[in-house]
Structure 1
Amino acid sequence: MRSDGVFKLVLAVSIAAIFALFQVGANHLFKESDSESSHFVRESQIRKLHNQDASLNIPFLDKISKYWYVGGETEIRNAGSIRLTRAGGTDQYGLILSNGMGDNTIDNFETIVTLKISPKEGSKPRALMGDGVAVVVTAEKDFLRQDLTSSYARKQYEINSGGVMVGDTSMMGLPLNLPGMAVIIDTFKNQGRTRVAVPFLDVILNTSPKTQAYDLESDGARTTALKLNQGKIKLKKSLMQGDTTKLRLIYLESENFLKIDIQYAEEGDYWIELFQTHLKEPLPRNDETNQRYIGISALTGELSQTVDILSVETNEFHLKDKDDTSNDFAKEIELYFIQEYNEKIALEEDSEQRWKMSKSQPRYEVNEINEMPAKKQVHGKSQFLKNFIVFFIIITTLYLASVYVRVSMKHVISSKRHRSKSVGLLPH
Structure 2
Amino acid sequence: MGAIDTFKRSRVVQLGVIATTLFVLFFFFRSSPDYYSPEDLNSLLQNKDESTVKVKKIELKEQGLHKPFLESGSYHIKNWDIAGNVIIKSNELIRLVSDNQHHAGSIFNQVPIKDESFEMELTFHIHSKNSKNLVADGLAIWFLDQKSEIGDVFGAKNYFNGMGIFIDTYKNGKKGNFPYVNVMLGDGKTAYNKDTDGFETRLAGCSARNLLNPKSGMTKARIVYTKYGYFSLDFKYTSGPEGWINCVTAMDVKLPEKKYLGFSAETGDLSHNVDILENKIYALYKPDGVPIGSLQELERLMQEQSEIKEEEKREGGRHRVFKKKPSKQQRRSLRRLKNSEKRIKERERKLREEKYGDPDYHLGLWILDWILHFLKMIVYIVAISALLWLGRIFYRTYTSKRKSKVTGLLD
TM-score where L is the length of structure 2: 0.58
* Selected match of 2:221 from 233, 244, 247: 247
Kindly indicate whether structure 1 or structure 2 has the higher relative contact order, using CA contacts under 8 Å at least 6 residues apart.
1
For the Cα contact (< 8 Å) 2:117–2:284, is it kept in 1? yes
CA distance in 2, matches of 1:233, 1:328: 28
1:205 aligns with 2:214: no
**Which residue identity is paired with 2:255?**
L
For the Cα contact (< 8 Å) 1:44–1:335, is it kept in 2? no
Partner of 1:49: 58
Q: CA deviation at 1:356?
A: 2.7
* Selected match of 1:131 from 133, 137, 142: 137
CA distance in 2, matches of 1:273, 1:214: 24
Partner of 1:228: 203
Q: CA deviation at 1:244?
A: 0.6
CA distance in 2, matches of 1:343, 1:298: 41
Q: 1:6-405, aligned counterparts within 5 Å?
A: 44-62=53-71, 65-87=77-99, 89-100=100-111, 104-120=113-129, 123-124=130-131, 126-141=132-147, 143-144=148-149, 167=150, 169-191=151-173, 193-194=174-175, 196-206=176-186, 208-210=187-189, 212-223=190-201, 227-229=202-204, 232-237=205-210, 239-241=212-214, 243-253=217-227, 255-265=228-238, 269-279=242-252, 282-285=254-257, 291-324=258-291, 331-332=300-301, 346=337, 356=341, 358=343
**Secondary structure of the corresponding residue to residue 135 of structure 1:** strand
Q: CA deviation at 1:333?
A: 6.7
* Shift in alpha-carbon separation, 1:173–1:323, aligned structure 2, 3 A: same
**Secondary structure of the corresponding residue to residue 192 of structure 2:** coil
**Which residue identity is paired with 2:102?**
D
For the Cα contact (< 8 Å) 1:322–1:328, is it kept in 2? no
For the Cα contact (< 8 Å) 2:178–2:207, is it kept in 1? yes
For the Cα contact (< 8 Å) 2:226–2:292, is it kept in 1? no
* Shift in alpha-carbon separation, 1:42–1:325, aligned structure 2, 3 A: closer
**Which residue identity is paired with 2:154?**
M
For the Cα contact (< 8 Å) 1:46–1:333, is it kept in 2? no
**Secondary structure of the corresponding residue to residue 68 of structure 2:** coil
Q: More displaced, 170-179 or 309-318?
A: 170-179
Q: How many residues align?
A: 266
* Shift in alpha-carbon separation, 1:62–1:106, aligned structure 2, 3 A: farther
CA distance in 1, matches of 2:231, 2:122: 16
**Which residue identity is paired with 2:242?**
D
CA distance in 1, matches of 2:118, 2:95: 25
Please list the CA deviations of residues 337-375 of structure 1 after superposition, one character each: whole Å capped at 9, or x if unmatched.
Answer: x99xx9987569xxxxxx93657xxxxxxxxxxxxxxxx
**Which residue identity is paired with 2:109?**
S
For the Cα contact (< 8 Å) 2:143–2:259, is it kept in 1? yes
CA distance in 2, matches of 1:345, 1:108: 22
Q: Percentage identity across aligned positions?
A: 25
* Shift in alpha-carbon separation, 1:334–1:294, aligned structure 2, 3 A: farther
CA distance in 2, matches of 1:41, 1:245: 26
**Which residue identity is paired with 1:300?**
T
* Shift in alpha-carbon separation, 1:128–1:268, aligned structure 2, 3 A: farther
For the Cα contact (< 8 Å) 1:136–1:294, is it kept in 2? yes
**Secondary structure of the corresponding residue to residue 323 of structure 1:** coil
Q: CA deviation at 1:329?
A: 6.2
Partner of 2:408: none
CA distance in 1, matches of 2:335, 2:96: 37
**Which residue identity is paired with 2:157?**
P
**Secondary structure of the corresponding residue to residue 265 of structure 1:** coil
Q: CA deviation at 1:98?
A: 1.0
CA distance in 1, matches of 2:218, 2:261: 20
Once superposed, what is the RMSD of the aligned Cα atoms?
3.2
**Which residue identity is paired with 2:104?**
Y
* Shift in alpha-carbon separation, 1:98–1:345, aligned structure 2, 3 A: farther
For the Cα contact (< 8 Å) 2:235–2:247, is it kept in 1? yes
Q: CA deviation at 1:181?
A: 1.1
For the Cα contact (< 8 Å) 1:48–1:317, is it kept in 2? yes
* Shift in alpha-carbon separation, 1:66–1:187, aligned structure 2, 3 A: same
**Which residue identity is paired with 2:256?**
P
Q: CA deviation at 1:240?
A: 3.7
Q: CA deviation at 1:283?
A: 0.8
CA distance in 1, matches of 2:165, 2:343: 22
CA distance in 2, matches of 1:307, 1:343: 41
Q: Which runs of 5+ in 1 are unaligned?
A: 1-38, 145-166, 286-290, 349-354, 360-428
**Which residue identity is paired with 1:312?**
N
For the Cα contact (< 8 Å) 1:239–1:264, is it kept in 2? no
Larger Rg: 1
* Shift in alpha-carbon separation, 1:357–1:58, aligned structure 2, 3 A: farther
CA distance in 1, matches of 2:188, 2:267: 24
